[in-house]
Each structure stands twice: as C-alpha cells, then as structure tokens.
C-alpha cells in the first residue's frame, strides 16, 4: 500500500466487520452502535456494534457450548488454524497496519511492527499446541505411580486495552486457542477495529463457531461484570490499568477465577557512567518513544549517573526535538497523537507538576494546537524527588532525567515504585549488570537494549504490575490446569 488517500482509508474501513461475533455468526448489538474516533483528527471513522449485558451473556453461552468439543479438537488442527491465521495476518499486514493507525494514531511503520509482533504470537502458539504434555513418575515409596496431565482451563474472558490493539489480543487468543479454551474477547472501545478484523481472519482460518466470541461495547462494566460473576466462566485474562485490574480481581474472587493480570508500569531506565552512551540514547528512544510513549513498557523515568547525566539529557533532547509529529498515515511522521483528550490532559498535568517543582524543559513541554490530541516530545531535567511523574505512569512522550550518585542509589530509586513490570539497564560492566539485574524488582529487564517484547519470552510483571506471563513456553500454562492422578500399582 503506497499512497494513503482518503479513498484507500475508506475502502479499508469498509472491509471491517462491524457487528458482534457470537457463536460463529455476526449480529447487531442490542444497544445500537458507537463511533470509533481517529485521534489525529477527532473525527468519527465508523460505527461498530454496541453490546448489551444480554449480548455479552449470549457470547458466554456460545463459548460454554463450544468448550467440550474444542477441548477435544486435535491439537495439531488447533495449531494449523493458528498457523493459517498467522499467514493471513502477514498477507494483510498493510491493511491491518493502516486500520490500526487510523483507530489508535501511531505512525504506520509502528503499526506494521505491531502487526508483525502480534502475528508472531499466532505462529508461536501454533507451535505450542502440540507440546502440551504431562508427567509420569514412580512415587518415592516405590508404591504406585504419579501421573499428571494438562487440560484446558475452560471458557475464558479476555479483556484488552487500546494501546496495542492487535498484539494484546493475539497474546491471549493464541494460547487460549492452542490450549483448547473457548473465549469471549472484549477489546477497548477506542480501538475495536483491529480485533474485529482478527476475528474475521480466524473465522476464515477455520476456527469453529463459538470458540472465539467478540463483544464490542461502550459499557465495559455493564457487559463484563455479569460474565465475571457467572460460574461457567473459568478464567479472566486482563491487560490494562492497575486500577481496573484491582477492581476486576475483587469481582473475580466470587468465583475464584483463574487470573492473568498484565497491568500498568513505571519503568526505570538506568544509565551507568561506563555505558556506551550512543547505545543508551538509541535504546532510550525506543524505550520512550515506541507507541508514542503509550506502552506499559515505556521508560517512565531516566536515572543517569551524575558524570554523564547532562550529556545524556541534552543528546536525548536533541533526538526527541527532531522527531516529526503528525497523523500516522503521513509519510515521514514519527510521532502520532495521544489516544484522547483525557490522556493528553493527564500528560500535561504531570509535566506542569514537574515544572512547578523546579524541573527544566530541555525540549517540548507543550500540547500542539489544532485538531487531534498531539503532545510534543519532551525532555525534563532537574526533576524534584516528589514530582508526580516519577511515581505515576506518564503514558506519553515525556522523558524525565534524574542524576544518581551511586549504584545503591540507582537501585533504590528504580525500585521506589509500586509497579514492577520492566526496567532497562545500560552498563558495560558484566558484574555490575548482573548485580543490578538481580536487585531490580521487576518481571523483566532490558540489559543494554530498549525493548524486551518477544513472543518467545515470558512477558509480565510483579508487584502492582500484576502476575501471569504471556508469550514463551510459560504463556500457554496460563490456559491449562494440571490434573494429578494417583495410580495404584
């Protein structure tokens, strides 16, 4: 897809199914429709079905009805369906990327990267479906045998956020399909289009009706709460904010649901004096600016060794200031809009708070006038210890830089947060690297690299960033139960 004209955009939007997908059929939402907005212009792109609580219940009914048969479906065939879906996503990558840019705002090259990343979960789990196994052991006493087997958890509810509209879905849908679970999927209301296209692709790849049911809705709590309270549901996998995650966990306690919680982050990016500064700047740009800073893995604060802190901040400011803002469909654009006005207001507020407490803006620090929710790439120096953006998830293109005096101070500052998703460490000293990595309270660490996401690796956090792992050999375990059989011999 070379030139993106309004006609091309319209054609891509027209090809998206806009109804609910329940029990293998596309149907209207009982509450009519709602508009999906282009964050670069504030205009409505198209309307999609708005589900009621009854529609959501019908989706769970369909998932429950399909569960037994799907669990018995040959693993190889489950894998082949995922493999065909992977190939179809790759074949339609340009179209899916454009759709993602339209609904979420990120530049086209980043959307292409997410489509490739999201597709890889389908491929990875297509390979995992035939590697589900158990164990056979002689009991320590020698009397009897211990047999363990893995079985699908059962019907799952998968709730995803707007920041990675496709990949946050495939990271859950891939292992659920591979494990033999049926599911109800609810994408974020800002970005339902990528997931609707994925449902169509899975349908065309031969996924039996009822295995995946898709519900788009304006009221998440009205549609989801009854499902979470329904004893037929066996698992909830949620990616989103810590605040909503906490609420869902409370609701899930009624049925003691199996849970996977991929929640917010507040990633520290630590640069030691001995680091390769060129590499650190390169990594910082990725860790900060991927997804316009709207990533759970985004570097939220930069802790830099005193002797190199100023140089680091200045070089980062130079790079950030040179980035081109604009609608993600435009050639050469590197930074798109934030998702909505509320998100932009939050970023503005955090920057104002830091400036009021004495920070200096080396570049940016402003919203951009005109249509869309643009915020200028920003680097702040001289951050006060009590500035809110050191504690809160910024979710925007803002990089606060703070100097540290010792390794102990850097580690203490990095861990001084309720979150524990990811940290980044730059140093050329192997012993220091391992010491620091071991001391960091996070589920993941990028060592001399600014990105950790990889479908073959276990993605997830600790502390209030949640629990459970997506991707890697661990990813499918979230959708399996272990049954132990005591064998009398």
CB of 223 to ligand NAP, least distance (A): 8
* Token digits of residue 147: 């047999």
CB nearer to ligand NAP: pick between 244 and 277: 244
Question: Is 156 labeled as catalytic in the residue annotation?
Answer: no
What distance in Å separates the CA atoms of residue 175 and residue 134, rounded to the nearest whole number?
Answer: 17
Task: Among 79, 107, 152, 240, indicate the residue that binds ligand NAP (CB under 6 A).
Answer: 240
Among residue numbers 442 through 471, which ones bind ligand NAP (CB under 6 A)? 461, 465
Please tell me which residue in 103, 120, 262, 477 is annotated as part of the active site: 262
CB of 363 to ligand NAP, least distance (A): 24
Non-local CB neighbours of 12 within 8 Å, separated by 6+ positions? 95, 98, 99, 102
Which range binds ligand NAP by CB under 6 A, 6-14, 73-81, 96-104, 163-171? 163-171
Q: Which of 234, 145, 195, 160 lies closest to 486 in space, CA to CA?
A: 145
CB nearer to ligand NAP: pick between 79 and 265: 265
Which range binds ligand NAP by CB under 6 A, 46-54, 84-92, 237-245, 278-286? 237-245
CB of 298 to ligand NAP, least distance (A): 8
CB nearer to ligand NAP: pick between 326 and 455: 455
Non-local CB neighbours of 22 within 8 Å, separated by 6+ positions? 55, 58, 59, 62, 213, 214, 215
Q: Which of 296, 247, 271, 292 lies closest to 442 in space, CA to CA?
A: 296
Residue 489: burial class (beta carbons within 10 Å; 0-12, 13-18, 19+): exposed
Residue 119: burial class (beta carbons within 10 Å; 0-12, 13-18, 19+): buried
Among residue numbers 304 through 323, which ones bind ligand NAP (CB under 6 A)? none
Terminal C-alpha separation, the chain: 65
Residue 296 as a binder of ligand NAP (CB under 6 A): the answer is yes
Please tell me which residue in 120, 156, 296, 478 is annotated as part of the active site: 296
Say how many residues touch ligand NAP, by CB under 6 A: 28
CB nearer to ligand NAP: pick between 46 and 363: 46
CB nearer to ligand NAP: pick between 92 and 237: 237
Task: Among 51, 159, 257, 444, indicate the residue that binds ligand NAP (CB under 6 A).
Answer: 159
- Say whether 110 sits in a helix, a strand or coil: helix
Question: Is 279 labeled as catalytic in the residue annotation?
Answer: no
Task: Among 37, 61, 393, 478, indicate the residue that binds ligand NAP (CB under 6 A).
Answer: 393
CB of 162 to ligand NAP, least distance (A): 5
What distance in Å separates the CA atoms of residue 241 and residue 331, rounded to the nearest whole number?
Answer: 32
Residue 226: burial class (beta carbons within 10 Å; 0-12, 13-18, 19+): middle
Binding mask 395-434 for ligand NAP (x = CB under 6 A): --------------------------x-------------
* Angle, helices 306-321/277-289, rounded to nearest 10 degrees: 50
Longest pairwise C-alpha distance within the chain: 77
Determine the distance from the C-alpha atom of residue 97 to the mean position of all C-alpha atoms in its chain, rounded to a whole number: 16
Q: According to DSSP H, which parts of 384-477 are helical?
A: 407-415, 430-439, 472-477
Residue 345 as a binder of ligand NAP (CB under 6 A): the answer is no
Task: Using DSSP bridges, classify how beta strands 145-152 and 480-487 pair: parallel, antiparallel or unpaired.
Answer: antiparallel
DSSP annotation of 26 reads E
Binding mask 246-285 for ligand NAP (x = CB under 6 A): -xx-------------xxxx--------------------
Residue nearest ligand NAP by beta-carbon distance: 240
Phi, psi (deg, nearest 5) at residue 164: -125, 85
CB of 368 to ligand NAP, least distance (A): 22
Among residue numbers 177 through 236, which ones bind ligand NAP (CB under 6 A)? 186, 188-189, 220-221, 224
The set of catalytic residues is 262, 296
Interacting residues with ligand NAP (CB under 6 A): 159-164, 168, 186, 188-189, 220-221, 224, 239-241, 244, 247-248, 262-265, 296, 393, 421, 461, 465
């Amino acid at each position: 897809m070379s030139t993106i004209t309004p006609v091309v955009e319209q054609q891509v939007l027209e090809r998206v199914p806009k109804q609910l997908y329940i029990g293998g059929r596309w149907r209207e939402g009982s509450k009519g429709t709602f508009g999906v907005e282009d964050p670069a212009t504030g205009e409505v792109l198209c309307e999609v079905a708005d589900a009621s609580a009854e529609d959501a219940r019908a989706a769970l009914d369909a998932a429950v009805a399909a569960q037994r048969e799907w669990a018995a479906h040959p693993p190889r065939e489950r894998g082949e369906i995922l493999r065909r879906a992977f190939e179809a996503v790759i074949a339609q990558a340009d179209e899916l990327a454009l759709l993602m840019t339209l609904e979420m705002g990120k530049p086209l090259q980043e959307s292409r990267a997410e489509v490739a990343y999201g597709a890889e979960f389908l491929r990875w789990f297509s390979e995992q479906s035939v590697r589900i196994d158990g164990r056979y052991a002689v009991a320590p006493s020698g009397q009897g045998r211990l047999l363990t087997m893995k079985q699908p958890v059962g019907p799952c509810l998968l709730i995803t956020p707007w920041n990675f509209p496709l990949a946050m879905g495939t990271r859950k849908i891939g292992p659920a399909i591979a494990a033999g679970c049926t599911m109800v999927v609810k994408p974020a209301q800002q970005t339902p289009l990528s997931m609707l296209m994925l449902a169509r692709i899975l349908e065309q790849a031969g996924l039996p009706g009822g295995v995946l049911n898709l519900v788009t809705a304006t009221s998440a709590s009205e549609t989801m709460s009854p499902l979470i309270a329904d004893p037929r549901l066996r698992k909830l996998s949620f990616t989103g904010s810590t605040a909503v995650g906490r609420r869902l966990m409370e609701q899930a306690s009624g049925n003691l649901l199996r849970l996977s919680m991929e929640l917010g982050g507040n990633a520290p990016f630590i640069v030691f004096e001995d680091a390769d500064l060129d590499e650190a700047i390169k990594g910082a740009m990725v860790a900060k600016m991927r997804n316009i800073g709207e990533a759970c893995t985004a570097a939220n604060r930069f802790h830099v060794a005193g002797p190199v802190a100023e140089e680091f901040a200045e070089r980062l400011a130079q790079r950030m200031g040179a980035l081109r803002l604009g609608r993600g469909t435009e050639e050469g654009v590197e930074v798109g809009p934030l998702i909505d006005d509320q998100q932009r207001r939050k970023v503005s507020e955090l920057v104002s708070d830091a400036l009021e407490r004495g920070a200096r803006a080396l570049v940016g620090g402003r919203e951009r006038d005109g249509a869309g929710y643009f915020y200028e790439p920003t680097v702040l120096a001289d951050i006060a210890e009590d500035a809110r953006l050191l504690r809160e998830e910024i979710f925007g293109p803002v990089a606060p830089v703070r100097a540290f005096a010792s390794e102990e101070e850097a580690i203490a500052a990095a861990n001084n947060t309720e979150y524990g998703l990811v940290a980044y460490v730059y140093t050329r000293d192997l012993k220091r690297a391992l010491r620091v990595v071991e001391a960091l309270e996070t589920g993941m660490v990028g060592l001399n690299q600014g990105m950790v996401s990889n479908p073959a690796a276990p993605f997830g956090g600790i502390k209030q960033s949640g629990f459970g792992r997506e991707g890697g050999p661990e990813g499918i375990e979230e959708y399996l139960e272990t049954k132990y059989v005591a064998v009398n011999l």
